[in-house]
Structure 1
Amino acid sequence: MRALIIDDEKSIRDILGMMLEDFDFDIEKAGSVQEGLSKLQEGNFDLILLDLRLPDGSGMEILRKLREKRMKTEVIIITAFASSETAKEAIRLGAFDYVSKPFDVSELRLIFRNVKKKIELEKKVEEYEDTYKDFIGESPKIKKIKEFVKKIAPYDANVLITGESGTGKEVVARTIHNLSNRKAAPFIAINCASLPSELLESELFGYKKGAFTGATRNKKGLIEEADGGTLFLDEIGDMPLALQAKLLRFLEEKTIRPIGGIEEISVNVRVIAATNRNLEEKINEGLFREDLFYRLSTITINLPPLRERKEDIPLLIEYFAKKLSKKYGKKFRTISKEFINYVMSLPLKGNVRELRNIVEKAVILSDRDILSLPLSNEETKPHREIVIPDEGVNLREILENLEKEYLLKALKKTGGKKKEAASLLGLTFREFRYRLSKYGIS
């Protein structure tokens, strides 16, 4: 943790520095407003001890700048010129505490202990949020899975994640990795259905120069690349039988032999596999090894389809809207209820992946600050082929007629109630009223 002491008295800076070092803070010091601001530009600090009266201005200037930039920094005000109004202003701006000079050392130590606890707690919360940032959902089923993931992540047991296509199996695999002791090591993912048998084998186990035509150099396999970390085998149910035997041997022996190699290489890898197939059925059909299934499924997690956790859909829409609006340089003030209700009415057989595609299309097509359905709402009907005659069309007139039709239908649906009609169309009341005036609709 880093702390910055801003005080014009060197003796005070030295005393406070020694006290904070006892609480494991790395210390930087400044004697003026400008020097303090310069230090803040160089990097972030967890804590600032701030004197209000400085040679070139007030410490309140620094506190205000911190809050303007929304920096997550705890501030303790220390000054010989305290006033109740200044204290109120500092607390209003988010200062952790306020101490007058000459200060009581015991009181300061207690404050430092408390502020350190707060900083540590907030860091843990941030770490938790970062870990689960892509694992979106607050439904009972998802909460239960999150708790289960947190419980099993520290242990090196193999995990099998099952669920329909698009339910977020790789997101769960990455979350397990990020919560494990292997989080600083690589997370390597491969889709077992994306490559033919020979290529998949060389990708996983690597090969030696001259092992086959085109092998002009030695190449590490993904299993070796993941050494110390996690290997994620997506669509494991589509792995060819011959390769299943080689994978089983690796899981049992923790060694691999590259294609064309003669020496065994020891690797330390946790394996997480995923499938949208019923592996027990594939075992009965002779398409999947039973012994490999038991090796992979030490722990099993089944992800529910989106239709079984519809209460998570608004959260997912908001998450993807924020993420994709940054990608495409869009800004949205809000998401219309009509859009959320429309998405929730869909079967979403592609689950989270399909939902993301719908939101992405809406973000791309939207030309307003409200994320809403495309004007023609063609998602629910077959697409009509657009034909432009040789003489051309009046696009402005077509769009105006379509807009008028929507305005009138919304008014009809709400019995003439303008605020409700505006909400149906994802418009503010002012925007709706402007459009009515534009077309002379009373």
Structure 2
Amino acid sequence: MFNKVLIANRGEIAVRVLRACRELGVRTVAVYSEADADSTHVRLADEAVCVGPAQPRRSYLNMPNIVGAALKTGAQAVHPGYGFLSEDPDFARICADNGLTFIGPSPEVMSSVGDKATARKLMAGAGLPMLPGSPAPVASYEEAAAYAETIGYPLVVKAVAGGGGRGIAVVESAADLRTAYRRTRSSAQAVFGDSRVYVERYAASVRHIEFQILADAHGRTVHLGERDCSVQRRHQKLIEEGPSPALDPVLRNEMGEAALSGAKAVGYQGAGTVEFLLDDDGRFWFMEMNARIQVEHPVTEMITGVDLVTEQIKVAAGERLSFDQSDVTLIGHAIECRINAEDPDRDFAPTPGRLVEYRVPGGFGVRVDTHSVPGGTVPPHYDSMIAKLITWAPDRRAALARMDSALAEMRVSGPGVHTTIDFHRKVLADPVFRAGRARTSFLAREFEAG
């Protein structure tokens, strides 16, 4: 096991990793920007190093400063959390070149699954079902249009390096393709530094289902069931739950085996997810693979009893997984609501500011992953997440009731600060959601349409 781990992130995930390290007897190094000098992860860590100004590219994305902090403090490994540098193969490679263990898959595997066109090809070779699409990035609008004629409309133009719900454009007809192609390429270049895109058939009335994967260096790969992430706005998740109301044991086993095949095909090690689209007839298709711990990982932890972050760290240290597939049992139901400093009435516009009041709920089956404190600040420079609220109960109906009670108990306020708390309560009260019939189009149809 490592003696010291540097956490190359901020916010609630930095606190989450720090706690896992503490339980393992591992010392921690926090990195922080000037805007985060008083943050919770800085106060809880054994050591802390400022890596730059508030702007992410000068701090949390500043590879030389982060690696320098690790070497200066004697850290043996780097945990990237999610976001920022967590899926950057160059960062993983630089860590390895400097004798640091990157807590995640190898740079080669990360490159393969991070390039969505390459990932599609690899997963198709492993036998996973695929939506019709271009077999490689399309080099021109004319090439995209030619594939579109074969695929049919509606379709999506996707950035090869996309992630976090960005780099995706739905195209309803041929008249819209040229504009969507140009805008997606331009956006992909600006956000990801890679303008390549591909086209794929768009599946409208589907669920977004992801399977949690853990794999060690000794040949053991397991899945820990699924999470239903269908409640989204602009392809970004807001509510996640597990198990999915749409899966029975037979379909769960089929999709789980497919996820394992995909992970093994790329030689995956560490924690990750294989993500699928699922239609009403039980047909599913590979969507993407994420090579990191997910925001919604607590849902799986609550229904399996497995500490995913601890297992992730152990695997990176060369240890074997402490269980196999036959040990994985799904117990009860868990749901997670992302509490963001956003105004749902203004298209979820971020509302940074000072948290004058901050009170979180508690009780049996209630978990709050957070870094926020009363009097603290939600900076304008980063993700607007304040906390993740998770509830568990023996069944879905009870988990939803517990979540509604917890949301009603939570208090977050400050000058100009709006949150998604009331929005979540409206979703939980919606008959479509309560019946377990929400698809990825749910918010647009039920809420944005009034």
TM-score w.r.t. length of structure 1 = 0.23
The structure showing larger relative contact order (alpha-carbon pairs under 8 Å, at least 6 residues apart) is 2
* Higher alpha-carbon Rg: 1
TM-score w.r.t. length of structure 2 = 0.23
**More strand per residue:** 2
